[in-house]
Structure formats: C-alpha cells, structure tokens
C-alpha cells in the first residue's frame, strides 16, 4: 500500500454489484491499497460528496462485515 492516498476520478467508481438499476446505491473505487466509498445519488465532486476512505485491509474487513449482514441491527 502506498502511504499517499490516490486521487480517484469519477470513472474509478463502480456501483455495488447488488444495486438495482436506476436506484441509489453506493459506489466503490479501489487503487494502490486504498478504497473510497461514496453515495451514488450525490453529484461527483459536489460539496456534499462525502466519502468513506479506507485502507485496503479496512475495505476488505468492511465488505466482509456488510456481506455477512453483521451491520444489520
């Protein structure tokens, strides 16, 4: 992993696999041991385009927790 976080472009982000067509969902970008998660209904680069920034290990752990439903409480 690079210690410098990369700058992600709009084309780096991909909608989650389980998203429904034409519905809001999360988008994920991964690169150089870093990941960012953003809300797809927010315009890219807008003032409210807040992102969750994770290291590769954090992203792997986060996705594992989400996929197993351990966040559903």
* pLDDT digit string, tens, across residues 5-62: 899 999 999 987 777 777 778 899 999 999 999 998 899 999 999 999 999 899 889 8
Give the pTM: 0.79
Report how far apart, in Å, the C-alpha atoms of 45 and of each of 3, 42, 56, 59 are. Answer: 23, 9, 22, 21
Q: What is the pLDDT of residue 1?
A: 64
Cβ atoms of 58 and 69 within 8 Å: the answer is no
Indicate the domain borders of the chain: 10-67
pLDDT value for 43: 95
pLDDT band for 73, please (50, 70, 90 cuts): low
Contacts of 36 (CB under 8 A, 6+ apart): 8, 13, 28, 29, 51, 52, 53, 54
């Amino acid at each position: 992993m690079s210690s410098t976080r990369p700058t992600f472009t709009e084309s780096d982000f991909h909608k989650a696999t389980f998203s429904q067509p034409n519905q809001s969902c999360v988008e994920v970008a991964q690169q150089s041991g870093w990941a960012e998660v953003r809300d797809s209904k927010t315009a890219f680069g807008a003032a409210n385009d807040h992102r969750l920034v994770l290291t590769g290990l954090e992203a792997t752990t986060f996705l594992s927790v989400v996929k197993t439903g351990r966040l559903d409480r």
